[in-house]
Chains A and B, each alone.
Chain A
């Protein structure tokens, strides 16, 4: 078996001294896996996602992303890791409101220092792939929720990251759009071979994944195949 893409060893995290949010959490995710994280609110799953995304650091323990120790990263290196290794898909889409779909998809490539001659065709290409051909110039407020989330997925794919972190990607969508989005995300994993970690509280969304990790009170209480986990 290859080296894990994500290797978390006994990390702790607390925002106040009294209430620990993560207690001694360990997890390994191998390239090509599709993992769903579930758990009640306050169980620590969102904080865990922030640590995985190098948006936050753990108090103790170790987190290796692609073999690199992230515990003592400089802010610049953390930014570079997010740019190269991770694509984010958020519940609230988090698109730049006054910018076109194309600009939004281009953002990680512009941040990564790619010239326009590279990012412009690639951004169009990505929008075509998520089914938004011809909507390059549309602004977020001219797009439906489902379409906005597709733009966000195209943005997440811009730097061809090995890992996509999706935090409740269907939380703001109706069931039809949710199905569309989950089909795209599943395809990224099954066809594109991209590793996906997805946070959700809906069992039918989690069912798209292959592996389920359940959080409760800052600990992992289940880690196994998704069918048994959902049945339990």
Chain B
């Protein structure tokens, strides 16, 4: 015959209530530890999410294909200086299985003017697919269409930075006309704010015009139909590797390159860059989490410390309990339950405080912080484990006290 478990729990609760303030202070260690873990994981998750957002604003599963370089008089041009890629290349690549869309791009810098204001910015000539590939949203208006592209229409989509520099605040530029290199362009769309790219470029300081318009009206070209760069979007992330190889074969074939010749173009996988940034942010979350875990450990040691004090303080009580026939197991359970209640109670309050703080931090720093089920489960499990682990030794000390020694203790 031994004590009922309900009775053991009651005994544990009553003795904790009698040392209320001390129990709370002990809990505080766990509260801070668990709160820190939840908060740090939420912040880490928030950083990850915001990086993911900037990755997806750049476009998912993207390749950039750059045309080759020229050498003239000992000066070697950079990628894109030789007109090796053509619109026909782009069309051919678009036919490959696994390719979702291809957008050829020619760009240059030009001065733009609207009434009294002028601004120098990047002009990108491309096809309507570009907006879809880069997943760009519109604040107002819409992208130009294929008809505008084929007819080299003088239409333009402008970024937010360009809009603020050319138009008075609050004015909708859609439908207005600006001059690019003195040629009038009608604005058909205003891009939503994109923010900075991963490389820190302002993605809003841009004007996008139809590819044909750029080539024929703005920049001209000694080689009509040549393309400096192409964005190629794969249908899924899985096909990226094999697609890169296929594109290389198609382009080499079309450019009639012999076996020994180097590529006269280059293919870059943007996802790989994004991946490395994402893994860096994961490392940051891990670091934050481990620092928080250390504070949880310190909280656990606090529990062990206070439980040892409690056992010493209650030596006489333990002696009485043993004298009236409480079994060692029941005494041990009582002290273990006290430790677990301290740690779980601290865990609960810690989750609430950590969750609340992460919402505040999220609002203050515009970070999409997220308290996940995982982090709450983790915090609770660890808190309970700490209670058992750090409570075990003091509880065993209590259970093993010799009753006569304990009764004699003053």
Contacts and interface: CB of A to CB of B under 8 A. Distances in A.
Contacts of A110: 3-4, 7, 11
Given A94-B319, A94-B320, A111 B325 contact: yes
Given A90-B407, A113-B3, A83 B320 contact: no
B3 A79 contact: no
B325 A82 contact: yes
B326 interface: yes
Interface in B1-56: 1-4, 7, 11, 14-15, 18
B1 A113 contact: yes
Contacts of A76: 327-329
A53 B319 CA distance: 13
B322 interface: yes
Contacts of B263: none
B324 interface: yes
Given A80-B1, A99-B14, A115-B4, A88 B323 contact: yes
Contact of B327 (A50, A79, A99): A79
B195 interface: no
Contacts of B269: none
A27 interface: no
A128 B329 CA distance: 33
Given A80-B327, A113-B2, 12 more contacts: A75-B328, A79-B325, A82-B324, A82-B325, A83-B326, A94-B316, A97-B317, A111-B321, A111-B330, A113-B7, A115-B4, A159-B325
Q: Is the interface of B mostly helix, strand, loop or mixed?
A: helix
A112 B329 CA distance: 13
Nearest to A95: B320
B362 interface: no
Nearest to A46: B404
Nearest first, the 7 closest Cβ-Cβ pairs linking A and B are A83-B325, A108-B324, A82-B325, A111-B326, A98-B18, A113-B1, A79-B327
B323 A53 contact: yes
Interface residues of A, number: 29
Interface string A56-99: 10000000000000000001100111111000101000111111
Nearest to A77: B327
B324 A88 contact: yes
Contacts of A107: 320-321, 324
A159 B325 CA distance: 10
Nearest to A155: B324
21 contacts: A56-B404, A75-B327, A75-B328, A79-B325, A79-B327, A79-B328, A82-B322, A82-B324, A83-B324, A88-B323, A94-B316, A94-B323, A95-B320, A96-B320, A98-B15, A98-B18, A108-B325, A111-B324, A112-B325, A113-B1, A159-B325
A143 interface: no
A230 interface: no
Nearest to B316: A94
Contacts of A97: 317
Nearest to A81: B325
* Max chain B C-beta neighbours (<10 A), residue from A53, A55, A79, A96: A79
Contacts of A112: 1, 325
A35 to B, nearest CB: 20
Interface in B287-326: 316-317, 319-326
B98 interface: no
Interface string B323-359: 1111111100000000000000000000000000000
Interface of A: 50, 53, 55-56, 75-76, 79-84, 88, 90, 94-99, 107-108, 110-113, 115, 155, 159
B97 to A, nearest CB: 74
Contacts of A50: 404
A25 to B, nearest CB: 18
A97 B15 CA distance: 11
A96 B327 contact: no
B225 interface: no
B403 interface: yes
B396 to A, nearest CB: 13
A94 B316 CA distance: 8
A27 to B, nearest CB: 20
A79 B326 contact: yes
Nearest to A103: B14
B325 A84 contact: yes
A94 B321 CA distance: 10
Contacts of B321: 107, 111
Contacts of A84: 325
A82 B407 CA distance: 15
A55 B325 contact: no
B404 A55 contact: yes
Given A50-B404, A90-B407, A94-B319, A113 B4 contact: yes
B407 A94 contact: yes
Contacts of B320: 94-96, 107
